[in-house]
Chain A
Amino acid sequence: MAHAYTPGLRVTQQATIRKERMLPIAGRVLVEVGAKVQASDVVARAELPGDVATVNVVNQLGIAAGDLERFMLKKPGDAVAKDEVIAQTRPMIKWFRNVARAPVDGSIETVSSVTGQVLVRTAPRPVEVRAYVDGVVVEVRPGEGVVIETTGAFVQGILGVGGEVAGELVMAVDSPKAVLTPKDLDERFAGKIVVAGALVSYAVYQRAAQVGIAALVCGGFHDSDLRRLLGYDLGVAITGHEALKPILIMTEGFGDIAMADRTFSLLKANAGRRCSANGATQIRAGVLRPEIIIPAAGGVQAARGALGLTEGSPVRIIRQPGFGRLGTVKSLPSGVQVVESEAKVRVIEVQFPEGDVAIVPRANVEAIES
């Protein structure tokens, strides 16, 4: 049987999910292997070095760089307070004394007799890493962080904005094709991860923000609305750092697209459960897709083979015409064929549930995990 390789997004009821929770710099891990953790638990802590301020001491004192150390009152490692004198000249008449002061609270980092500069580093900033998902610590990397494992449902979206949240998963619609209006949302959804059907409009997003929703999960969103939301054109798909509430996760793409039945059904089946969601996306270099993780009390890891396409495999069309349609592979012709754009490409024959069949470039379909 012919087969083809195609990347795809994971939508699965049972998976074992491992999340690395790493500190940005070396620090302290607060949990041990085997510990059960909640999404909001702090699992590691570190102190980020403070900002660095420079003082051109030689200019301020009017001395040569090579003489700097002679005039310093503080040495590397010493604590200093803002405006404290850190270096001074020693003239015969005190009135002519020049001084250099610390521009910030902190400690002396370096004293350079080459450049004549003194670097003062401010106090470190504490940084904490939370568990993000309810699960069990399966690995501790001393000084770096932990790996947390959980078993449950796992849904990858195609693009998201905003960072990590946790909350109860609720359905705001009863169909993957449904489109919400602002009046459909009220305070009952506050702090929840809300499944919002097909298209979410800018007005619906604003209403969601007003009632305090944690995350909106939808089939599509218009790019023009995203631009309004972010205040800029999303040039490169690297997201997750946006300070947005609610975060937004699209499962299908841009435009008015119904959520895939399989995704919708899976989310519906898990409504009422606690889950974790993250809008962070990075399509280039180390691909990262937005996700919804719904931990289960137990569960078995689903076997996951390579996402190959064979006759009968469920697929989604991911480019016009028919963008977003779902079907199954009818055949995989081996040669190349000429499509409407006159491009000679390898194709796939897709059977749609509506009864029609289409020839589509292989590159324009996506395998859906079955």
Chain B
Amino acid sequence: MKPEDLNVIVATDCGSTTTKAILIERKPEGYRQTYRGEAPTTVEAPYEDVTRGVLNAMAELEELSGRKILDGERIITPARGNEGVDVYISTSSAGGGLQMMVAGVVQSMTAESAERAALGAGAIVMDVLASNDNRAPHEKIERIRTLRPDMVLLSGGTDGGTVRHVVEMAEFLAAANPRPRLGSSYNLPVVYAGNIDAREAVKKSLGGKAELHITENLRPTLERENLGPARDEIHDLFLKHVMAQAPGYPKLMQWVGAPIMPTPAAVGNIIQRIARSRSINIVGVDIGGATTDVFSDYAIPSEEAKTLERIFNRSVSANLGMSYSVSNVLAEAGLANILRWVPFDIDESDLRDRIKNKMIRPTTIPQTLEELKIEQAIGREALRLAFVQHKRLAVGLKGVQRGRTISESFDTSASGETLIDMRTLNMIVGSGGVLSHAPRRAQSAMMIIDSFAPEAITRLCVDSIFMMPHLGVLAEINEQAATEVFERDCLISLGTCVSSVNEVKAGAVCFEYVMDVAGAKREGAVQAGEMVLEPLADGLTAKVSLRPHRSVDLGAGRGKPVEAEVHGGVVGVIFDGRGRPIVVPETDRSKTVTRWAQALGAYPA
């Protein structure tokens, strides 16, 4: 069926916890997302068949929409009247997603590029090995042996550069003889994307011990990164090997009308499309049950070409999430960091038990308001930690983005700079259960602001019902449908956050504002340490004039006034006078956090 003939589309995302199905239908005004169903994912025992969860989610979709989609365990195609669908597509991160180990020669160069290639392909990177990672050879071999990745990406050396170190890594790999995570009936796939001169020696070293796939060097020269071919190879192998081994996936692969994409690759796809079509700097986050992915797409000035170059980055925090990994958020953030966002007193031992109970029964949802507040406090910390990790990964690539010379490439102080400049960030898009399904959108806005701490003027959006993965894969077969649904049904504008970059003394006026909405003016002042909400409906824009305290920076420098256009949303325009970093006072914690929440109407009174 041609893409333009698709009238009814069903898409699923098989997450680690839940399988989400959405129905997309062509209406007179264009493609719309109409219904949504979900069911627990069934990759694991006792079911061990992903299609069970898919069928359950579709059954719920049938029940809600009244459309008959299934004939027993068969998806009815094509659509006729109120029966069947024209195509079924899916993404997947179930069963732990795609788990990879990457290796390069220099940790901050080829190994870092290899890590970016694997992450961009939607993988969870279990470890990054490099010749100079300060581990002794036997430690590297032991590490490779104990990890059971789905795939290994081996890189290293620019073309014509070192052969010895690359081959050394291949020899370690051969000595460790790692086994794939799923099944023992096949050899571990290894993608080699390093120095072309080392190909034969690598082939010889790994002969018979791994299924070697050779692709273009991902770092052919110091100044150029070429991640595309390695990413494509990883995608192909993901489908051929990893998916084919996962429970029920061979059947699922026969049902779909387009290749199954790893969920993060699909979300990354849609985030890049938004950033590039609107020419904005964007940070996206997808917080799941097991992992949290952060994506960024920034226009970075290139000194040499005097132009802007777009750089996309994805990071994955493999053990930060809201169900399976919720306890790890506690372990990494510490109890005090979670407690600071909880607006009531709670016994620490009780909180620990509640968090662990969520981990062991990951599909439960908060029924009481108190439980919701605890869950959202944990969500803030998971998001904050994931963003810290992203900023560490999204650093300038030596020699490329900034047109540095090679000698500058070795300057470690210059290479550690993150590309994420909070002042030039235009939009944050949140996705994933805790953000998409917050009962009030103001709660999502609060969580995004508290965890990402946007500076100056930043637009906030959420994925309405968590459908970015579905649209990411849909864009591959029908871009028009993906774009239309994205604009109409997926992206919900929460509003705009206007934040002071630094703090002033408590009680002082942080900044004053005048908001001009189609000629009607609203004025106000934001006290230091406080938040103010000005409603501005979705679809509307307003001109704001900001007059900061002489020591307050709103993006233009200390004390400098700012004029800007801001977008409305379901929450409105949020003026944040808390400074950066956001500090929750220990003594008045409950009262302060409650006051902030009340300013935005985040919870019922």
Contact = CB atoms under 8 A, between A and B. Distances in A.
A77 B369 CA distance: 67
A229 to B, nearest CB: 13
Interface in B345-400: 348-350, 352-372
B171 interface: yes
Given A233-B331, A254-B352, A119 B175 contact: yes
Contacts of A223: 349, 352-353, 355-356
A88 to B, nearest CB: 22
A136 B604 CA distance: 61
Given A115-B167, A115-B171, A363-B364, A254 B324 contact: no
Contacts of A343: 365-367, 372, 437, 439
B365 A286 contact: no
A159 B177 CA distance: 32
Chain A interface extent, by class? 35 or more
B356 A234 contact: yes
A142 to B, nearest CB: 13
A86 to B, nearest CB: 16
B63 interface: yes
B137 interface: yes
Interface in A203-226: 222-224, 226
A117 B372 CA distance: 58
A313 interface: no
A181 interface: no
B367 A319 contact: yes
A319 B371 contact: yes
B481 interface: no
B367 A360 contact: yes
Interface stretch (B37-45, B301-309, B526-534, B589-597): B37-45
B201 interface: yes
B276 interface: no
Interface residues of B, number: 65
A253 interface: yes
A7 B142 CA distance: 37
Main secondary structure of the interface of B (DSSP, over half): helix
Nearest to B94: A285
A38 to B, nearest CB: 26
A191 interface: no
B538 interface: no
Contacts of B165: 115
Contacts of B352: 222-224, 227, 254
A298 B354 CA distance: 41
Contact of A53 (B46, B138, B177, B358): B138
B356 A5 contact: no
A300 interface: no
A272 to B, nearest CB: 29
A114 B167 contact: yes
Interface of A: 5-7, 10, 49, 51-54, 65, 109-110, 112, 114-117, 119, 121, 144, 158-159, 222-224, 226-227, 232-237, 253-255, 283-288, 318-321, 323, 334, 339-345, 360-361, 363-364, 366
Interface of B: 16, 39-40, 43-46, 56, 63, 95-96, 137-138, 141-142, 163-165, 167-168, 171, 174-177, 184, 201, 205, 290, 319, 324-325, 327-328, 330-332, 348-350, 352-372, 437, 439-440, 604
9 contacts: A7-B363, A52-B138, A110-B174, A114-B167, A232-B331, A284-B16, A287-B45, A319-B357, A320-B370
Given A158-B361, A364-B365, 15 more contacts: A110-B171, A117-B137, A159-B356, A223-B356, A235-B330, A237-B324, A237-B327, A253-B353, A254-B354, A284-B290, A285-B95, A319-B364, A342-B372, A361-B364, A366-B361
